Amino acid sequence: MPSLPPVTQALLLINVGMFCLQYVLGFVVDRFLALWPIGAGFLPWQIVTYGFLHGGFNHLLFNMLGLWMFGAELERLWGAKRFLQFYMASVVAAAGFQLIVCALMGANFPTVGASGGLFGLLLGFAMMFPNRTIVPLIPPIPMKAKTFVAIYGGLELLFGVTGTMAGVAHFAHLGGIFGGWLMIRYWRGQPPFGRRR
């Protein structure tokens, strides 16, 4: 098994470290580093820091599994700098979507988790390796990467609109997909951006 590339490894370690810090300091970490809605405790750095916190061990485990599965391969393809740009664009876009949804709904609860970044990675993987066969954990059915992301994205939209699975930031997940999509279009010089980068 190939070794983990440096940024993927660093992200895994930071997430685990922050989870341990949450366990020790609890509310203090969540109060200042989770993503709170505007007017309910929002601080500017939270659009990044929330992506390194998690709501429980299973939340951390599945996000880190996805980061390892999809992030490592994308970092090998793009290199460390581009991979980090892509991941952070997904995290920040997810935060933006979540802040807008919370403002529209009048919500005052915080958001935590690397899921927005992970959904961006899923989109990136599907765009770079659309016909690669993967076997997701749920459901354990082999399918092409592009099919998996289309189904997952559609489910997130459905769950977000219908309010299914309360407590899950479905629109943040969609924001991560959107941020990843925008970053790839920026690199390719496609609308709404100018020349290729």
Domains of the chain: 6-188 (1.20.1540.10)
Catalytic residue among 54, 90, 115, 170: 115
90 given a catalytic annotation: no
pLDDT the model gives residue 166: 66
pLDDT at 167: 67
Residues 6+ apart with CB under 8 A from 160: 101, 170, 171, 174
Return the pLDDT at 91: 97
For the question of whether the overall pTM of this predicted structure is more than 0.75, the answer is: yes
173 is catalytic: yes
Tell me the two tokens of residue 13. Answer: 């370690």
In tens digits, the chain (197 residues) has pLDDT values of: 567 999 999 999 999 999 999 989 878 888 999 999 998 999 999 999 999 999 899 999 999 999 999 999 999 999 999 999 999 999 999 999 999 998 998 888 899 999 999 999 999 999 999 999 988 777 788 999 999 889 888 888 888 777 766 667 888 999 999 999 999 999 998 888 877 66
Which entry of 54, 90, 170, 173 is annotated as an active-site residue? 173
Q: Output the pLDDT for position 123.
A: 95
d(CA 155, CA 138): 13
